[in-house]
Amino acid sequence: MRRKPVVGVIGNAHRIESRFDVQVVGERNMRAVAEVAGALPLMFAGCPEITDVGALLDVVDGIVLTGARANVHPTRFNIEPHVRHEPYDIKRDEVALALAEACVARGIPLFGICRGLQEMNVAFGGSLHPEIREIPGRINHRMPRLENGEIHPDPRVVFADRHEVSLAPDGAFAKILGCEKIRVNSLHGQGILEPGKRVVIEGIAEDGTIEAIRIADAPGFALGVQWHAEYDPQRNPINRKLFQAFGVALSTHVKVGASA
């Protein structure tokens, strides 16, 4: 019997009761991996003192770089940090950027979601804008809020499809999804400014924001999306196809490894 693929899902730094440092992963990420990609999700720490990238990649068949509240630290792309763009998760930056490069080099399936897409871009030499909505002509891509400034309490409103994305004809996403235009949710402030050297733009929002990328000449699955595809792949046909394609890549990696 062929074993089930194992997917490493990166953790995020969090503090409970202002005292206890923990690593957390949103359950929807792990459910998407388990229920749609057909793999076993394995959380690992976004902390270089704990996580050895090489040892991790010897164990897993794929990696998911999830979304997160923290922004990638601006010094990673030669911009001065500002208190307005906090919080940061410097330790996750170190692990995630190294992982993105290593996965591509070793042909290990890599799926970046929201912050994960941004990490993939930075790993290959690209830059980010800390607040996309401040660029002239861009819309507010952050999650919906009430008039008093609080985040909308209904997740169906927060994660509702909010704008269109045009996909590159004959690109990887168009082939996976079977179309060249989709609608997606939007819950981010930071976004790609300049693409990295190997970053191929495959999806662009109505306002010009980069929403989908792939890494050129990657020997395996290496795709990133700016929207939160993990929220509803069990019922959303677009996000389901993405996680299913990731699952196929995982199974192929397992099969190749078993025959090596």
Catalytic residues: 114, 228, 230
Residue count of the chain: 260
- What single letter denotes the amino acid at residue 259? S
Q: Which residues contact 162 (CB under 8 A, 6 or more apart)?
A: 183, 184, 185, 186
SS (H, E, C) 29-95: HHHHHHHCCCCEEEEECCCCCCCCHHHHHHHCCEEEECCCCCECCHHHHCCCCCHHHCCECHHHHHH
Angle at 228 between CA 46 and CA 133, to 5 degrees: 95
96: its two tokens: 């995630």
Beta strand segments in 122-235, E: 127-129, 163-167, 181-184, 191-194, 199-205, 210-215, 222-225
d(C-alpha 254, C-alpha 60), whole Å? 9
Classify 104 as helix, strand or coil.
Answer: helix
d(C-alpha 93, C-alpha 68), whole Å? 11
